[in-house]
Structure 1
Amino acid sequence: MFFVRDVIQHGRKGQFRIVGIHRDAVFLFDLNAVRTVITEHSLEALKSGLGKGKVEFLAGHAFNCRAGHDLSKAQVRRITQRLEQVRDLVVQMPAIFYSPDRGRLVSQASRKFGVSAKTLHKALFQFWHGGMTMDALVPHFERCGAPGKDKPLDTIRGRKPDEGMARAPALTQEMLNAFQRCTDGHYKRNRHVTLAETYNMVLDLLCTRSVTDPETGAPITFVKDPDVAIPTERQFLYWYYKQGRAKSDAKARFGDVRIALRSRARLSYAAQDNPNAGGRFIVDSTKLDVNLVSSTNREIFIGTPTFYIVVDEVTAMIVGFAISLENTSWLAQGVAIFNCLEDKVAFCRRYGIEIAPEDWPVHGMMPIRFLFDRGEARGELATEFARKSGLIVENTSPYRGDLKGICEQRFDLVNETLRPQIPGARDADSGKRGERDPRLNASLNLEEITQVLIHTIIYLNNRVVTGFRQSKAMLAQQVPNIPAAMWNWCLDTGRSALIRFDKDEIGISLLPSGTGSITAQGVCFKGLFYTCERAESEQWFEQVNAAGSQRQISLSYHPWLMDAVYLHVEAGRRPELAVLTPYSQNHAGMSLPEVEQLRLAKRIATQGRQLDQTLLHADYRNQVSHIVQSAVQERIDHLRPRDLKGAREHRALDAASNREDEKERLRLGIAQYDAQSGDPEGGREVQGPPPGDELGDGEAL
């Protein structure tokens, strides 16, 4: 069966559209012709050709025009006019299909509507060729005016200006060169230069000149010609966007990475390779938008704390957090990771908050992977953590904050929830003129903000997350898009990749490692000495010098408190806790930076006394040398072997002589002491030693 608008392939003759069927005649419009060509065929002949395979139907949509939805008012007005003109012609069948009659009908219509016959012939051709609908009559104004071809430079362009305004000048080659020079030399090379500023530079180049004052050396700027033609900013912008260089200039101004980040296709999502809870935990930090005061004195302002958060990628569950006054570091975020393992009921109880286990059902489990943002997790500490724990540590690519968007969203929600409740909170208007400084309203200390954050996290974990992308299984089972509900559903249905860990295992894995030396004073590390029960029972320190004894031992330590270290005695066994020996107790309670600072201060002080010590040593050597040289000069000759005999007798004689000299010095000393003590008799007789007793030799036996 044949119908009007059908498109057929008629053997080798080509493609045709059926534009009319009148009794036994079928009128075919040649789709390959450049002008209107309509042929008449018998309906029976076409049916016969269809049965023999000489005629076949084609898909009409491949030949029909489809207009867009953003037609202008002028296009809609033109379509309405042409449709009204064409409708009066096509209803006059079959005369409109015959060329002589069509010419006569078009002439009549042209006089009726006041348009040329050529315009109506063109409209009929568009109507039949494009599918005999309104879409076929859409005017293509964008093809008019020789697009892409420059107009002559000496022609007057643009609309007529308002009264009193000068007409925009015709662009000269000098102006075009100035446009090119300023955009290449300033706009393209400096991202801080805008197109408006570039236009000002164009005017500077075209209208002004600068010379140097020979007397002062200062530049003198002047207008080179008061009657110079000045291009308008609209002309400059039209020229710039016509060049089609906006994208390449943006890459030169901001870099390929930034442009790719802004304009890349977003066809996937971050968690598409992670279907299970615990498949990946995302860790990130920010400065909390809350100002704090000191815990010891609320009159002391301490600023904003560092807030770490750990979020499960699949369920948006906040599984751990940490808040401190430390700067971002591996150890600071390690507190947040360690919080994932803690029993949340006991953890909240430490801050005076009682919760039920189902309020925050996360404890004792670690994920397969941790995702960081190329900050704290780039270094040896992260490598050691991955090696000791067996977990995978990942880092995002540069400028790919969207890979941890769920974590960034949690930060926004936490701050938005806290701002209306907490005095001293910052917002986008903080610091602007006329706004009160939020720091003046700071009231909470670190412990109190921790309590607030516990309540906030529990609230967000049980709150609906609007716009969250759930998995197909969650949608099928109508799991509410609440983090706690999705977390429990994943655990109940086996969609979990969580790994059970002991707190001590993760705690040791998070700590940095070092090597200590076993000495007689204890295990020496960073200048401090440690001991443990096992070391003392196995006599490590007594046998340190024995052949084959262990001299080095690996250990883990916490730089924030050096009171204890963990000794890795045997692989796979629990580390031994070692504490400071009494010798190093003067460093108890200190952190590693404090210990190193003390040692540095000691070295600096020693270096400052080096000149004095050098002087002291030189004076000592000089004095000794003077005495030795005087004694040597009094000698007649070197001692001979026979002079070495009788040393005992000679020593006894010298000793007796020395005693007499010492006795005399003692008597003089006692007499002076009595005189100074105020004896009314002017002193007393000094009694000699008892018979047989020599002073200094003790009682005679």
Structure 2
Amino acid sequence: MELFINTLLEKRDAESKLVDCERVLWLNQSEDCAVTISIIKKTGVPEIKRISSIEQELIEGVMIKREHDPYSRFMVSEELLTPKEIRLRDEAWKCIKDIVELEPNIYNPKERYEIIKSEMKRTGKGKNLYYKYLRYYWTGGKMVNAILPRFRKCGGKGSKKNPTQKMGRPRETSISVDPKLKGVLISEGHRKIFDAIIREVYLKINRRDSVKYTYIEMLKKYYQVGTTKKGRYEIPIIPPGHDVPSIAQLRYHIRRYYTKRKLLIAREGEVTFNRDFRPLLGSETRKATGPGQIYEVDATVADVYLVSSIDPNIIVGRPVVYIVVDVYSHMVVGLYVGFEGPSWLGVMMAIENTVENKVEFCRQYDIEITEEEWPCHHMPDSFMADRGEMESKNADSLANALGIKIMNAPPYRADLKGIVEQQFRTLNVTLQPWTPGAVKKEYKKRGGPDYVLDAKLTLKEFTQMMIEMILQRNNHHYMEYYPLDKDQALDKVRPVARDLWNWGISHNHYLKNVHPDIVRLNVLPEAKVSVNREGIYFEGMYYGCEELARQDWFVKGKTQKVPIAYDRRCMNYVYVKTDNGKGFIKCDLLAKSSRFINMSLEEVKSTRYEEKLSRSMYYNETELQEEVTLSAKLEAIKNEAMKRSADNQDHSLTKSERKSNIKGNKAVERDMLRKEQAYELGKSPNEGTDEQSNPGDHVIPLETYKPKSKLGLLAKLKETEEKKHG
């Protein structure tokens, strides 16, 4: 690495902190010799070094070349110097101009001492003066201006002064009346009082109290020497004006020790300062380097009242307008006009519109355009929005699935989305003359017309106006203050949104092609739901489809949790997310949940709540009583059976005897039951109720028979029949 005279060489430690910085004063390549001097050390002197050693340190990275020369500030023209600075510089140069030419001898400490000693005898000036001028000359790059006087380092910058006598313009009273009335000399004690009252009164946020008010409060609180009674008021007594600080001294203290920024932040608040008072040196457009890097999205309530599309006599209120704007080109890339929001549902529709084919979108509103007039159907690298809609789980789903960054402006910082905010203002102002029912900002005069009653436009007609306005601004509006960069200027790009968009796409863009269905899938609300043999269960509804059935999702014993997307406006379908949100399976509402067909999620929840409420009320009022009634009836039947069993139980029978021939007993009981239940067609209801017509009156009733042997009921009946026909 080749060295040159005046090259600056930096040395830094392991933590990259500056250790030293040396300037090359003299070089001798043949002797491998260099002379350097530290520009940081206040007592630095020229040092002799090997050129090869310096080059080796540069190769190893121990030492690096410094690009910026801190002494370049001395390279100023003569016109910018004061006569005093020029005079003192020339006097200093006259002292050393001959000895600095004695290179390299002047760099040898012993020879330098002898040279300076002879000059001191000749001129009578001190040794320190020569060393100071030489050091100024060498560290400053061996320029004459390097020995300019350092006036700007004088005065103790930033330190508080403690003068021993009154400073500033004398008061009129001290000149015309009495020199003793010159006023108070401000001491450290007075400054503490100033700071205290400034904090307590002047810097109170949103108070905006004047310096005059602050001064009066200071005198009342810190300088009163007593009180006096005046009527029913107690009045503070303060010393004469020449014995207390003046309001001018308080004002000077505020100017001297409180910056404008500090005052504004304290009195207005940091949010208000950033919005209304901060420097406006940058350009928001320069935040993006190509189309699609940043889209700004925001909503506003339009300044117009609309009427129903069914009945023009019905006023339906003011619509919500969502606009998405590309920061780089100022192109409006997405639009939604409706009555949703401001909410996620509204911003969802605007985001979906950014990827929608604008030719088809405009055709829905009877507007025919070409692809070139609105060539925007892409997703960006990032969205910039307000906190709220884009600070939610829905926005996280969009970011995670499609790899889109979400940026949210701080509260009350609409200025950070200035491009989309300006679009709103322009569209509202421009459209107002053509929108009957437009909101008038001035107050309505008594007896004057009511602009709400002037409403004539439907939502579709107002949307048509918005589209036409956007097409005009995208294709023909000349942005006079757009900051074209050098390449755009060379290519003679007009500051028109469409031209900037097309130029940016051909040079550098961040646009992503995403199918509208995938965007819709990821802007829809998401839920984690369970799947079982009955289907996909969500909010009391069951969904399913053939594809999932073929994959055995609904087999008994198999349960799982899956992510779904749903459109709360109509719950006929849900969409099972696959491939991390890049695909989906559509599921239909099953027949057992058909009562929810064509309902919104809110309607479903309302219906379920009403069903639950109705069921609860019926149970408390009717079903609960009927359950108690049933319990009582069953208890009575049981008790009757228990009583009959107790009255007729034969305790002589063993357990084995009671359980014997159960199958045969069942057959006999079945035969008896069949005879009783046999049909006899044409028989009147009361026929056969008397004893003579009852064919079974000769049969022994079961309840009177008590088996006493292991023969069982069947054997006993046979025995009885044989005796009868004997």
Please say if 1:367 is aligned against 2:380. Answer: yes
Q: Deviations over 1:314-339 (max 9, x none)?
A: 11111111111011223321211221
Q: Distance in 2 between matches of 1:191 and 1:158?
A: 41
The Cα shift of 1:454 comes to 0.5
Q: Are 1:446 and 2:455 an aligned pair? A: no
Matching residue of 1:621: 631
1:149 CA displacement: 7.2
Q: Paired residue for 2:540, among 527, 531, 538?
A: 527
Deviation at 1:197, TM superposition (A): 8.3
1:679 is aligned to: none
Q: Which of 602, 609, 612 is residue 611 of structure 2 equivalent to?
A: 602
1:455 matched residue in structure 2 = 468
Task: Output the CA distance in 2 between the equivalents of 1:377 and 1:521.
Answer: 36
| Counterpart in the other structure of 1:92 | none
1:427, distance to aligned residue in structure 2 (A): 4.4
TM-score (norm 2): 0.60
Preserved contact between residue 518 and residue 544 of structure 1 (Cα < 8 Å): no
- 1:321 & 1:367 partners in 2: Cα distance? 15
Asked if 1:585 corresponds to 2:594, the answer is: yes
User: Could you give the per-residue CA deviations for residues 64-90 of structure 1, whole angstroms, max 9, x where no partner exists?
Assistant: x9xxxxxxxxxxxxxxxxxxxxxxxxx
**Which of 377, 400, 411 matches 2:424?**
411
Q: Which amino acid in 2 is paired with 1:314?
A: Y
Kept after mapping to 2: 8 A contact 1:310/1:321: yes
Relative to structure 1, is the Cα distance of residues 639 and 295 closer, same or farther in structure 2, using a 3 angstrom cutoff?
A: farther
Which of 314, 322, 335 is the equivalent residue of 2:328?
A: 314
Return the match for 2:314 from 296, 300, 309: 300
Shift of 1:463: 0.9
1:436 positional shift:
4.7
Sort the Cα spacing of 1:630 and 1:550 in 2 relative to 1 into closer, same or farther, 3 A: closer
Q: Report the TM-score when normalising by structure 1.
A: 0.62
Does the aligned pair in 1 maintain the 2:532–2:559 contact within 8 Å?
A: no
Deviation at residue 414 of structure 1 after TM alignment: 0.8
Q: Secondary structure at the match of 2:286?
A: coil
What residue in structure 1 maps to residue 524 of structure 2? 511
For residue 666 of structure 1, report the CA deviation from its aligned partner: 7.3
Partner residue of 1:479? Answer: 493
**1:284 equivalent among 275, 286, 298:** 298
**RMSD across aligned C-alpha pairs, in angstroms?**
5.4
Offset, 1:623: 4.0
1:562 is matched with 571
Deviation at 1:578, TM superposition (A): 1.8
Distance verdict in 2 for CA 1:230–1:283, change over 3 Å? farther
Whole-angstrom CA distance in 2 between matches of 1:190 and 1:689: 112
Residues 615 and 407 of structure 1: CA distance in aligned 2, closer, same or farther (over 3 Å) = same
Task: Give secondary structure in 2 for the equivalent of 1:554.
Answer: strand
In structure 2, give the amino acid aligned to 1:584. Answer: S
Number of the residue aligned with 2:366? 352
CA–CA distance in structure 2, aligned partners of residues 249 and 507 of structure 1? 49
Contact 1:203–1:230 (8 Å) recurs in 2: no
Q: Secondary structure at the match of 2:349?
A: helix
Residue 255 (structure 1) aligned with residue 269 (structure 2):
yes
Shift of residue 577, structure 1, vs aligned partner: 1.9
Alignment of 1:20-99 (within 5 A): none
The match for 1:128 is none
Q: State the alpha-carbon separation in 1 of the partners of residues 217 and 283 from structure 2.
A: 45
1:627-676 superposed Cα distances (whole Å, 9 cap, x missing partner): 4345434543777634556744884798599879x99x9745x9xxxxxx
- Which runs of 5 or more structure 1 residues have no equivalent in the other structure? 16-52, 66-145, 161-169, 212-220, 671-684, 695-701
Farther off after superposition, 422-431 or 447-456: 422-431
Shift of 1:182: 8.4
Q: Secondary structure at the match of 1:559?
A: coil
Which amino acid in the other structure matches residue 576 of structure 1? Answer: I
Shift of 1:555: 2.4
After TM superposition, the structure 1 stretch with the greater mean CA deviation from structure 2, 636-645 or 418-427, is: 636-645
What is the rounded CA distance, in whole Å, between the counterparts of 2:511 and 2:467 in structure 1? 23
Aligned length: 535
Q: Using the alignment, how far apart are the partners of 1:411 and 1:558 within structure 2?
A: 28
Judge which range, 289-298 or 314-323, deviates more: 289-298
1:311 Cα deviation after fit: 0.8
Q: Equivalents in 1 of 2:447, 2:196: separation in Å?
A: 44
Comparing 596-605 with 376-385, greater Cα deviation is found at 596-605
- Describe how 1:170-181 pairs up with structure 2 within 5 A: none
Structure 2 counterparts to residues 157-176 of structure 1, below 5 A? none
User: How far apart in 1 are the matches of 2:644 and 2:362?
Assistant: 88
Report the secondary structure of 2:387's partner residue. Answer: coil
Shift of 1:188: 4.6
Residue 12 of structure 1: how far off its partner (Å): 7.4
Identical aligned residues as a percent: 26
Aligned partner of 1:191 among 177, 197, 206: 206
Offset at 1:369? 1.8
For residue 468 of structure 1, the aligned residue among 460, 482, 492 is: 482
> In structure 1, what is the Cα distance between the partners aligned to 2:617 and 2:246?
69
User: Structure 2 CA distance, aligned partners of 1:624 and 1:263?
Assistant: 85
Asked if structure 1 preserves the Cα contact closer than 8 Å seen for 2:201 and 2:209, the reply is no
Alignment deviations for residues 386-443 of structure 1 (CA, whole Å, 9 cap, x no partner): 1211222222344443332111111111111111221122243256878754322222
CA separation in 2, counterparts of 1:310 and 1:238?
53
Q: 1:14 to 1:444 in 2, by over 3 A?
A: farther
**Judging changes above 3 Å, is the alpha-carbon distance between structure 1 residues 656 and 338 closer, same or farther for their aligned structure 2 residues?**
closer
1:214 aligned partner:
none
Aligned position for 1:331: 345
User: Structure 2, unaligned stretches of length 5 or more?
Assistant: 1-77, 97-136, 152-164, 178-182, 185-190, 698-726
Write the distance in 2 (CA, Å) between the matches of 1:61 and 1:427.
Answer: 69
Structure 1 residue 313: deviation in Å?
0.8
- The aligned counterpart of 2:90 is 9
In 2, distance between residues paired with 1:275 and 1:511? 30
1:211-262 CA distances to partner (integer Å, 9 max, x unpaired)? 9xxxxxxxxx94447999999xxx9976764451696565444433433444
User: What is the Cα deviation at residue 293 of structure 1?
Assistant: 2.0
Taking the aligned partners of 2:249 and 2:313, their CA distance within structure 1 comes to 62
1:420 maps to 433
Structure 2 residue 283 is matched with structure 1 residue 269: yes
Go from structure 1 to structure 2 and tell me whether the alpha carbon gap of 1:11 and 1:486 turns closer, same or farther (over 3 Å shift). closer
When structure 1 is superposed on structure 2, of 4-13 and 320-329 the one drifting more is 4-13
1:632 aligns with 2:647: no
Are 2:401 and 2:580, in contact at CA under 8 Å, matched by a contact in 1?
no
Distance in 2 separating the partners of 1:238 and 1:625: 102
Q: Find the counterpart in structure 2 of residue 575 from structure 1.
A: 584
